[in-house]
Amino acid sequence: MSTAILPPQQIAPTPVAESDWSLGWRYERVRTANGKEEEIRVPLTPAEALHPQEGYTMPVRTLHDRVADDLCDMLRPHCEQQADVAVFHDLVFVWDHPEIGNYAPDVAVVPNVRNRAADRGTFEVATEETRPSLVIEIVSPKTREADRVKKVKDYALVGIQEYIYIDHTTRRGKESWEIAGFRLDGDRYLPMLPDEDGAYFCETVGLCIGMEDGQVWLEDVNTGEDLLTNQKVRKALATEEEGRKAAEARVAELEAQLEALRRQQT
C-alpha cells in the first residue's frame, strides 16, 4: 500500500501592523543588540497624546492651527496691557491636582504670572502659584470626546474659571462651527448662555468670542471694538497708507491747478 506525500502546508505570515503616527510621536533612547544606544521615534498612545510631556510632537490640522494662531494674535496685545497676564499656546501645564494629568491647551490666559517673558517648557501650577483663568480648545477629530467631555470635568477640577471649545465639523459637504462655553461654579462648570449672535462673554478677559464665516472674532465689551490679528492690522495699515498717498496726490493736484490759475491771472 503506497502512502501519498502531501506538500507542506503554506502558512501566511502574520501582517505587521503599521504604526499610527496621527496622534504624534516622541523620542526615546534604546540599547541595540550590539550594546550601542540609539534614539528612536515612537508613536504616541492615546493617553500620551491626551496628557503630553515636554518634547512630544503633536501634529495639528491647518484649520486648527489658524484658529489658535488668530486667537493668540488678538489676545496677546489685549492682555499685554496688564504686566502680569500671559497668553500661552500649546504649553504643557502640570496641575496641582493628583487625579488630573498634564494638558497642553491650545490657548491659555494666565493672570498673576511673576515672569511673563521666562522661557518655559512646562508651566507647573504649584511652583508658579497661579493657573489659567481662561482656556480655549479647538476640537480635533481624534480628541473630540476629550475636548467636549473629559476636559469639561477636568478643567473645572483644576480651578480654571472659564473654558471655551470651538468645534468644526463637515457633514455632506457642509461645514458647521460650534462654540460652547462653561463658567466655574464651585468645583464644576455651568454652561454659559450665548447671545443673539451665538457669541459668549468671557468675564475673565472682558471679551466676547464668536465665529463668522469660518473666522474667530473677539470684541472688547468695554469699547465695542473688534480685536485684530496681525494680518488684519497689516491690511488696515496698508489701506491707511494708500489713503494717505491718495490724499497727498489729490492735494498736489489741487495745488497745481491753483498755481495754473494764478499764472493765468498775472
Nearest CA to 86 among 50, 120, 63?
Answer: 120
Half-sphere exposure (CA, 13 Å, Cβ side) for 48?
A: 17
Map grid coordinates 518634547 to a residue. 55
Q: Distance between CA atoms of 104 and 122, rounded to whole angstroms?
A: 9
In angstroms, the CA 212 to CA 178 distance is 11
- pTM, rounded to two decimals: 0.80
Is residue 256 one of the residues assigned to a domain? no
In a domain, 37, yes or no: no
Cβ-based neighbours of 103, under 8 Å, separated by 6 or more: 50, 51, 52, 92, 93, 95, 151, 154, 155
Rounded distance between C-alpha atoms, residue 134 and residue 109, angstroms: 5
Find, among 40, 71, 45, the residue nearest to 58 by Cα. 45
pLDDT at 27: 93
| Per-residue confidence (pLDDT) for residue 253, from 0 to 100 | 73
- Report which secondary-structure segment, H or E, holds 176: strand 174-185
Asked if residue 166 is part of any domain, the answer here is yes
In Å, the largest CA–CA distance within the chain is 138
Is residue 164 within 8 A of residue 200, CB to CB? The reply is yes
Cβ-contact 207, 217 below 8 angstroms = no
Looking at residue 103, the DSSP 8-state letter turns out to be B
Q: Does 242 fall in a domain?
A: no
In a domain, 160, yes or no: yes
> Are 148 and 182 within 8 A, CB to CB?
no
**37: which 3 cell numbers?**
544606544
Domain count, the chain: 1
Say if 239 falls within a structural domain.
no
Domain contains 9: no
- Provide the CATH number for the domain around residue 108: 3.90.1570
pLDDT of residue 172: 82
| Enclosing domain of residue 150 | 47-228
23 vs 14: CA distance, rounded Å? 25
The CA radius of gyration of the chain, in Å to the nearest whole number, is: 28
Question: Would you state the pLDDT for residue 245?
Answer: 64
* CA nearest to 162, candidates 179, 184, 147: 184
Tell me which H or E stretch contains 117: none
Q: Is residue 76 part of a domain?
A: yes
Q: Going residue by residue through the chain, which has 266 residues, state the pLDDT in tens, using 9 for 90 and above.
A: 444 555 555 555 555 467 888 899 999 988 888 888 889 999 999 999 999 999 999 888 899 999 999 999 999 999 998 999 999 999 999 999 999 999 999 999 999 999 999 999 999 999 999 999 999 999 988 889 999 999 999 999 999 999 999 999 988 888 899 999 999 999 899 999 999 989 999 999 999 999 998 899 999 999 999 998 866 666 655 656 566 666 666 777 767 777 777 777 77
